[in-house]
Amino acid sequence: MSRRPWRRVILLTLDGVGIGALPDADLYGDGGANTLQHVAAACGGLELPTLQRLGLGNLLPLPGVAATAAPAACFGRMRERSAGKDTTTGHWELAGLIQEEPFPTFAQGFPPAIIEAFAAETGLYPLGNVAASGTEILRRLGEEHLRTGRPIVYTSADSVFQIAAHEEVIPPERLYDLCRTARRLLDPWRVGRVIARPFLGRSAADFQRTPRRHDFSLPPTGPTVLDQLQAAGRTVYGVGKIHDIFAGRGVTDAVYSESNADGMVKTLQALASVRHGLIFTNLVDFDMLYGHRQDAVGLGRALQEFDHWLPRLLERLEGGDLLLITADHGCDPTTPGTDHSREYVPLLAWGAQQEMGTDLGERESFADVAATVAEALAVVSPAGTSFLGLAGGD
């Protein structure tokens, strides 16, 4: 990639698509995890011709996706330096903020002090207060919620306080108000996210979460490249849950998405309005719909749908556009449990009308993305080492 003037960076985060256990994965119970490789094997091979052409198959042995002698993109993998394996930690590190201490988790449920404070402020004493998957908790407590009107509070292996409520019992706007109250109460505890989980259905057999999920994140605890871009007058356009992950900080414009397909449409639409800056997209279905639900075939199908769409993006990009494709953590659907997995993440970097094909190797931190975005858009990154000048050069 030459050091020509860059106008835009399009950063696509494939939520949960890791590519192999990190050296310390055993400490997290994730030894042997490899989301992408295990999904490809479970599907009997994946057809990802565009990602193969860019160099995905050069990163690891991947059934159906061969290595290529002349990849169209620069390729590598990144190690997470931060402690943790959750969405907030991964995205913050991509933006140049490294967490030395993990966010607290609550495997046995939240302390009575938190639950009592929530009940006192909202007038609603919650059901649950356990660690559970989103589908499991609705089967267990959804019908009781319908009878009593009490919200369901649950957590996971991540630092999350999740509130589930039927849209006809607690309408989404009221649910969001409950989450804002919880967010304020939980800030001193450093809980990473409060998540609204609205659902519909009449019984445990047909409860389904709706697209009106909303995340209320702890504000970033230090500067990010998004802050630097905003201060320099650059556009930072978030697609999907990017605005929520950063509590809106450093994000100048944002649009929510209902699915991967919707997020891909809105990424293309953003190209028309963002002429100088960063388009930062999170595609959540890989993680939310398939990784957590241990649906390897569904995750493989979602990857193939992304690959089928990707040429539409590539053909819309111009000279001065830099495309980065990566992930925030793993979520291996073939390993025990439904939680995230601590993994390397892929890195593909493609520049319109640029010489590509360099092996970027193993990057020491996700923050190398932040440093590269910063160099491309002429600001200073809080952390990381740019790989912008490793291929080509003027």
Residue with tokens 């306080």: 161
What is the model's pLDDT at position 393?
A: 40
What is the model's pLDDT at position 392?
A: 42
What is the model's pLDDT at position 133?
A: 87
Instruction: Please give the model's pTM, rounded to 2 decimal places.
Output: 0.90
Q: List C-alpha distances in Å: 290 to 31, 189, 299, 339, 340.
A: 20, 30, 5, 11, 12
268 forms beta bridges with none
Residue-wise pLDDT for 331-388, tens only, equals 999 998 888 999 999 999 999 767 678 999 999 999 999 999 999 999 999 999 999 9
Listed as ranges, residues in the chain with pLDDT below 50 are: 392-394
SS3 for the chain, per residue?
CCCCCCCEEEEEEECCCCCCECCCHHHHCCCCCCHHHHHHHHCCCCCCHHHHHHCHHHCCCECCECCCCCCCCEEEEECCCCCCCCHHHHHHHHCCCCCCCCCCCCCCCCCHHHHHHHHHHHCCCCEEEEECCHHHHHHHHHHHHHHHCCCEEEECCCCEEEEEEECCCCCHHHHHHHHHHHHHHHHHHCCCEEEEEEEECCCCCCCEECCCCEEEECCCCCCCHHHHHHHCCCEEEEECCHHHHCCCCCCCEEECCCCHHHHHHHHHHHHHHCCCEEEEEEECHHHHHHHCCCCHHHHHHHHHHHHHHHHHHHHHCCCCEEEEEECCCECCCCCCCCCCECECEEEEEEECCCCCCCEEEEECCCHHHHHHHHHHCCCCCCCCCCCCCCCCCC
Residues counted in the chain = 394
Q: Which amino acid is at 164?
A: A
| 390: Cβ contacts below 8 Å, ≥ 6 apart | 1, 74, 358, 360
What is the model's pLDDT at position 158?
A: 86
Which among 152, 154, 150 is positioned nearest to 133, based on CA atoms? Answer: 154
| 170: Cβ contacts below 8 Å, ≥ 6 apart | 149, 151, 178
What is the model's pLDDT at position 310?
A: 98
CA 55, chain centre distance (Å): 22
Q: List C-alpha distances in Å: 102 to 28, 40, 123.
A: 12, 31, 32
The whole-angstrom separation of Cα 159 and Cα 98 is 16
Residue-wise pLDDT for 1-27, tens only, equals 555 679 999 999 999 999 999 999 999
> What b/e string do you get for 214-241 counting C-beta neighbours within 10 Å, with b at 16 or more?
bbbbbebeebbbbbbbbeeebbbbbbbb
Query: Domains of the chain, with CATH numbers?
Result: 8-100+219-376 (3.40.720.10), 112-217 (3.30.70.1250)
128 forms beta bridges with 153
What is the model's pLDDT at position 353?
A: 67
**Contact status, residue 75 vs residue 330, Cβ threshold 8 Å:** no
β-strand pairing of 208-209 with 160-166: unpaired
The whole-angstrom separation of Cα 245 and Cα 92 is 8
